[in-house]
C-alpha cells in the first residue's frame, strides 16, 4: 500500500513487473536504470539473482519523479521471479503492491505461459485479499523484434479481454522501445488514482 | 517516534535505526544514516523479514518476530513492531545483540503506540494531492536522448 508521508510531503508507491519466465521483466528495469534522465542521484538497481542471472527473489529500483509543487513522488519498481517454482517468492513481492506491469512474451510458443502467468497473478492477489480489477495495471507485449511473434490483436484477446481493457504497449525492451511508455502510463494511472482518492476524502 | 529511536541509539550505542512499512517503504530514520543506502536497505530488510515469515509458516511457527544477521563490522536486527511495520537497528558487531534487543523492547512499545496514535488521529481524512494534478503526466520519466 502506498505511503503518504505528510511530514515530508512524499508519496511512495510500489510497482511490480509480473510475467512468465524470461519475458523481459528484469530487462525493463535495467533499461529504465540505464536510460532515465534525472537531475538527482539515481537509485541503485539491486538484483537478487542466481549465478546464471535468473531472478531468484526480485530486482529493485527506486526512482524519483520530478517534484510537483514541492511534492515528491517516489516509485519503487520490483520484478518477480518468473519461474513457476518461485510462487511463494512472487507472493512476498506482491505484498503492498500499488500498480502492476504485466510483461508478456510475444512469441507464439509462449502464449500458454503468458496465460498461466496472468492467472497465477490473479490467484496470488486473491491470497493477499486483493483483486486485479481494483489495481491499476498495464500490459506490455515484449520481444516484438522477434520473427515468430503473435499479432497484438490476438494477444489482446488472450491477455487483455476483461470488462475494462487496460492500456497495452508493444515493446522491445532490450532496445528500450516501449519501456518508458509503459512506465509513464502506470505511474500516470497511479497518480490519478491517488489524486481522485484524496479529492474524495478531502471533499 | 524519532525521540524513541534516538533514545534507543543513545542507550544501546547502535549506529542507526529505521522504522519501515512491511512493503519496504521507509517511514523514519535516525542516527548515522548517511553511510547506508537506506531506501535499498529498507526494501531488502522488509523482503528478508517477509521471507523469514514464509519459513516460519513452513515449520509450523506462527511467526519469527525478529531476524538477526551478524557481520564482521556491523550487525543488523529486524524486529516486528505491529501488523504493518518493522524496526531495523544497525549496530557495530562488537555490541552485544542481547543489549540491543533489551533496549529495543521499550522502543518497540513506544513506536507501536505512536503508530496507533497516528492511525487513530483521523483515519478518514485524506491528504490533498491536488497539487500533483498536472494535465499531462506522460513525461514523468524521460528517456535520455541518444
The reported pLDDT for the residue numbered A11 is 84
The C-alpha atoms of residue B34 and residue B75 are separated, in whole angstroms, by: 17
Residue A133 near residue A53 (C-beta atoms within 8 A): no
The answer to whether B141 contacts A65, with C-beta atoms less than 8 Å apart, is yes
pLDDT computed for residue B70 by the predictor: 93
Per the structure block, which three cell numbers stand in for B103? 533496549
Q: Which residue of B has its CA nearest to A177?
A: B143
Segments in chain A below pLDDT 50: none
66-125 of B, contacting A, C-beta below 8 A: 124-125
3-state secondary structure of B60: coil
pLDDT value of residue A29: 95
Q: Domain B2-120 classified CATH 3.30.450.30? A: yes
Domain boundaries, chain B: 2-120
Give me the pLDDT at residue A170, please: 96
pLDDT, average across residues B40-65: 88
The residues, any chain, with a CB within 8 Å of residue A126's CB and separated by 6 or more, are: none
**Inter-chain touch A198–B130, beta carbons under 8 Å:** yes
Please say if the pLDDT value at position B124 is more than 60: no
Q: Are A37 and B54 a contacting pair at CB < 8 A? A: no
Where does the pLDDT of residue B131 fall: very low under 50, low under 70, confident under 90, or very high at 90 and above?
Answer: low
Largest pairwise CA distance in chain B: 55
Q: Is A66 on the interface with B (CB under 8 A)?
A: yes
Q: Can you give the pTM of this predicted structure?
A: 0.87
Closest alpha carbon to A180 in A189, A190, A171, A167: A171
Q: pLDDT over 70 for what percent of chain B?
A: 87
Does the beta-carbon distance from B25 to A12 stay under 8 Å? yes
Q: What number of other Cβ atoms are within 10 A of residue A112's Cβ?
A: 11
The alpha carbon of residue A193 is apart from the nearest alpha carbon of chain B, in Å, by: 10
Judged by a CB distance cut-off of 8 A, whether residue A189 touches chain B is: no
Contact B143 A35 (CB under 8 A): yes
| CATH topology for the A3-202 domain | Rossmann fold (3.40.50)
**Is the pLDDT assigned to residue B46 strictly greater than 70?**
yes
Over residues B19-40, the pLDDT tens digits come to: 998 888 888 999 998 888 888 9
Question: E strands within A53-164?
Answer: 55-64, 72-79, 99-105, 137-142
A129 interfaces chain B, CB cutoff of 8 Å: no
Average pLDDT in chain B: 86
Greater confidence (B134 vs A21) lies with A21
Please name the member of B21, B128, B142 whose beta carbon is closest to the beta carbon of A37: B142
Inter-chain CB proximity A194 and B129 less than 8 Å:
yes
Arithmetic mean of pLDDT over chain A: 89
Tell me the C-alpha to C-alpha distance, in Å, between residue B5 and each of A31, A49, A178, B70: 38, 34, 44, 21
Instruction: Tell me what pLDDT residue A2 has.
Output: 76
Query: In this complex, do B142 and A11 lie within 8 Å of one another by their Cβ atoms?
Result: no
CA dihedral of B49, A97, B115, A68, whole degrees rounded to 10:
130
| A132 touching chain B per CB within 8 A | no
The residue of A7, A11, A33, A35 whose CB has the most chain B CBs within 10 angstroms, and thus the best one to mutate to test that interface, is: A35
Residues of chain A positioned with their CB less than 8 A from the CB of B137: 184, 187-188, 191-192
Given CA atoms B21, B24, B28, B32 in this order, what sign does their dihedral have?
Answer: positive
Q: Does B27 touch chain A (CB under 8 A)?
A: yes
- Average the pLDDT over each of A11-20, A125-134, B7-16, B111-120 and give the range with the smallest value: B111-120
Work out whether the CA dihedral A193, B45, B32, B100 comes out positive or negative: positive
Name the minimum distance, in Å, from the CA of A140 to any CA of chain B: 16
A96, A167, A172, A183, best to mutate vs chain B, most B CBs in 10 Å: A96
Is the pLDDT score of B126 beyond 80?
Answer: no
In the three-class reduction of DSSP (H, G, I as helix; E, B as strand; rest coil), residue A160 is classed as coil
Amino acid at each position: 500500500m502506498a505511503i503518504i508521508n505528510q511530514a515530508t510531503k512524499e508519496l511512495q508507491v510500489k510497482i511490480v513487473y509480473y510475467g512468465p519466465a524470461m519475458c523481459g521483466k528484469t530487462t525493463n528495469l535495467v533499461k529504465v536504470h540505464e536510460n532515465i534522465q534525472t537531475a538527482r542521484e539515481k537509485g541503485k538497481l539491486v538484483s537478487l539473482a542466481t549465478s546464471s542471472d535468473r531472478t531468484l527473489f526480485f530486482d529493485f529500483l527506486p526512482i524519483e519523479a520530478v517534484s510537483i509543487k514541492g511534492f515528491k513522488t517516489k516509485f519503487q519498481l520490483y520484478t518477480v521471479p518468473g519461474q513457476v517454482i518461485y510462487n511463494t517468492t512472487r507472493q512476498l513481492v506482491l505484498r503492498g503492491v500499488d500498480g502492476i506491469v504485466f510483461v508478456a512474451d510475444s512469441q507464439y510458443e509462449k502464449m500458454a505461459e503468458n496465460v498461466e502467468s496472468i492467472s497465477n497473478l490473479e490467484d496470488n492477489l486473491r491470497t493477499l485479499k486483493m483483486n486485479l480489477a481494483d489495481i491499476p495495471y498495464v500490459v506490455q507485449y515484449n520481444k516484438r523484434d522477434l520473427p515468430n511473434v503473435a499479432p497484438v490483436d490476438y494477444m489482446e484477446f488472450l491477455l487483455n479481454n476483461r470488462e475494462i481493457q487496460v492500456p497495452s504497449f508493444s515493446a522491445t525492451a532490450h532496445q528500450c522501445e516501449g519501456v518508458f511508455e509503459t512506465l509513464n502510463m502506470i505511474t500516470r494511472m497511479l497518480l490519478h488514482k491517488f489524486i481522485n482518492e484524496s479529492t474524495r476524502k478531502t471533499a | 517516534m524519532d525521540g524513541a529511536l534516538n533514545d534507543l541509539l543513545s542507550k544501546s550505542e547502535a549506529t542507526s535505526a529505521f522504522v519501515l512499512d512491511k512493503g519496504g517503504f521507509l517511514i523514519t530514520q535516525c542516527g548515522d544514516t548517511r553511510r547506508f543506502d537506506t531506501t535499498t536497505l529498507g526494501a531488502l530488510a522488509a523482503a528478508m523479514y517477509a521471507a523469514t515469515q514464509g519459513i516460519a509458516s513452513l515449520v509450523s511457527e506462527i511467526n519469527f518476530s525478529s531476524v538477526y544477521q551478524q557481520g564482521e563490522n556491523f550487525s543488523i536486527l529486524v524486529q516486528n513492531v505491529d501488523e504493518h511495520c518493522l524496526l531495523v537497528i544497525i549496530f557495530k558487531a562488537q555490541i552485544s545483540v542481547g543489549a540491543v534487543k533489551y533496549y529495543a523492547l521499550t522502543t518497540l512499545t513506544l513506536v507501536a503506540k505512536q503508530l496507533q496514535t497516528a492511525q487513530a488521529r483521523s483515519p478518514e481524512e485524506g491528504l490533498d494531492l491536488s497539487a500533483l494534478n498536472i494535465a499531462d503526466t506522460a513525461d514523468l520519466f524521460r528517456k535520455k536522448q541518444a
